[in-house]
Amino acid sequence: MQYPEPIAKLIDSYMHLPGIGEKTATRLAFYTINLPQADVDQFAAALQAVKRNLKYCSICGNVTEDDPCQICRDQSRDQSKVIVVEDSKDVMSLERMNEYHGLYHVLHGVLSPMEGKGPDDLNITALVKRLQTHPTITEVIVATNATPEGEATAMYLSRLLKPAGIKITRLAHGLAVGSDIEYADEMTLYKAIEGRQEI
Amino acid sequence: MQYPEPIAKLIDSYMHLPGIGEKTATRLAFYTINLPQADVDQFAAALQAVKRNLKYCSICGNVTEDDPCQICRDQSRDQSKVIVVEDSKDVMSLERMNEYHGLYHVLHGVLSPMEGKGPDDLNITALVKRLQTHPTITEVIVATNATPEGEATAMYLSRLLKPAGIKITRLAHGLAVGSDIEYADEMTLYKAIEGRQEI
């Protein structure tokens, strides 16, 4: 005995999503049957619209409806700073802070020899070209994640771009605001001491 | 700064699903952008097909493409037994066991005064009518979950159906096969002792 075909197909589609196994996919599929028709139509339309209407900005690589993206088009933003991030979600996190008004560059990943990801697989050539054609940019802030791959990518970018006379900086490491020293790991504590500042 | 509209809409749709919050929905939406076009088309089609092509069997209440469902149509199945379950997923679990060849009846929920769910909100009237019009059915096996609501529903059905002279049984409670007594909760142990059998 199999599930009726429409359910089996929907379970299969849900299982294509990351972190969703057969049990969860089955639960979601049965839940879908009882969703209002309008919600399901909207969901289906949203799925296809995301594929159809989104592209990557030809300047910074961020996802956008219009090329160039809203941030790259905005001349009121600080044109001298570029924050380099791993993916588009990071742009959103930094924008939410509402304190940074410069530009961004999205790498779409990090260097990872284990996964066979080299510099050519990232949006790095466009960054180099961007810095050459936009001499207004004087500082590149590398905001890759605090993982071994993120650090390696930051080092790589630093060596690649420094010779051109551009200031390369890296986000500070240290204790998260509101966190306990008791529960901080050794590396974080080490970085926090190393980066201590006079008060 | 907001996400581009197509992403924001898809995040919203994912958040309609149970157990999926904003963070997960965002992760899924960005993942969707990079899925192959064919997968996304298939996903969208599957969502709508599940709404369009599935109905509930007018006899047992199980989800099905054709009414009556495959199980209700199958005359080779034992027409004397009906297992009553909470939902369609339970039918599939029991069918996978491959040992039961009788019929089913899906309640679509359990009695739950807390959630305002009474007998009229469940597929119970159809069950009573089914037993009246099909005198071949001599045993109703109540397989609601071993939760307080499942037990209450089982008791309710027992009181409702017994006067008609139908045998009402309940799935056995006890230790799960392969489980440790050390980790079993008190109620399970109590039920396991109460239901002990001669060997």
CATH code for the domain in which residue A26 is found? 1.10.8.420
Question: Does A90 fall in a domain?
Answer: yes
Question: Does B21 fall in a domain?
Answer: yes
pLDDT per residue as tens digits for the range A90-120 = 898 888 888 889 999 999 999 998 889 999 9
- Is residue B11 classed exposed, middle or buried when 0-12, 13-18 and 19+ CB atoms within 10 A define those classes? buried
**Segments forming the whole domain that contains residue A27:** 5-53
* pLDDT reading at A192 higher than 90: no
Q: Tell which A residues from 95 to 124 touch B, by Cβ distance under 8 Å.
A: 95-96
Give the three-state DSSP class for A82: strand
CB–CB contact A46 B13 (8 Å): yes
Q: Are residues B49 and B95 in the same domain?
A: no
Question: Does B195 fall in a domain?
Answer: no
pLDDT score of A126: 94
pLDDT score of A103: 95
Question: Does B37 fall in a domain?
Answer: yes
* pLDDT reading at A11 higher than 80: yes
Whether chain B has a CB inside 8 Å of the CB on A76: the answer is: no
pLDDT per residue as tens digits for the range B33-83 = 989 999 999 999 999 999 899 999 999 999 999 989 999 999 999 999 999
Q: Are residues A49 and A90 in the same domain?
A: no
Complex ipTM value: 0.75
Q: Are residues A88 and A42 in the same domain?
A: no
- Chain B, nearest residue to A12 by Cα: B43
pLDDT per residue as tens digits for the range B15-28 = 999 999 999 999 99
pLDDT score of A177: 78
Q: Are residues A146 and A82 in the same domain?
A: yes
Whether chain A has a CB inside 8 Å of the CB on B92: the answer is: yes
How many residues are recorded in chain A? 199
pLDDT score of B4: 87
Residues of B in contact with A88 (CB under 8 A): 30
* pLDDT reading at B147 higher than 90: no
Q: Per the structure, how many domains does chain A have? A: 2
Question: Does B122 fall in a domain?
Answer: yes
Question: Does B58 fall in a domain?
Answer: no
Q: Mean pLDDT over residues B92-99, rounded?
A: 85
Question: Does A27 fall in a domain?
Answer: yes
Q: Are residues B100 and B41 in the same domain?
A: no
Q: Are residues A91 and A141 in the same domain?
A: yes
CATH number of the domain enclosing B140? 3.40.1360.10
Give the three-state DSSP class for A169: strand
pLDDT per residue as tens digits for the range A163-190 = 888 999 988 888 787 778 788 788 888 8
Q: Are residues A36 and A115 in the same domain?
A: no
Nearest to B32 by CA among A48, A110, A65, A109: A48
Distance from CA of A28 to the nearest CA of B (A): 7
Q: How far apart are CA B7 and CA A92, in angstroms?
A: 12
pLDDT score of A93: 85
Q: Are residues B151 and B118 in the same domain?
A: yes
Q: Are residues B81 and B163 in the same domain?
A: yes
Q: Are residues B86 and B36 in the same domain?
A: no
Q: Are residues B47 and B98 in the same domain?
A: no
pLDDT score of B83: 94
pLDDT score of A1: 64
pLDDT per residue as tens digits for the range A13-61 = 999 999 999 999 999 999 999 899 999 999 999 999 998 999 999 999 9
pLDDT score of A194: 78
pTM, rounded to two decimals: 0.75
The answer to whether B140 and B168 have CB atoms below 8 angstroms apart is yes
Question: Does A198 fall in a domain?
Answer: no
The answer to whether B140 and B167 have CB atoms below 8 angstroms apart is yes
Q: Are residues A158 and A121 in the same domain?
A: yes
* pLDDT reading at A199 higher than 90: no
Side-chain-side CA neighbours of A9 within 13 Å: the count stands at 18
* pLDDT reading at B157 higher than 90: yes
Q: Mean pLDDT over residues A60-86, rounded?
A: 93
pLDDT score of B1: 64
* pLDDT reading at B148 higher than 80: yes
Distance from CA of B159 to the nearest CA of A (A): 30
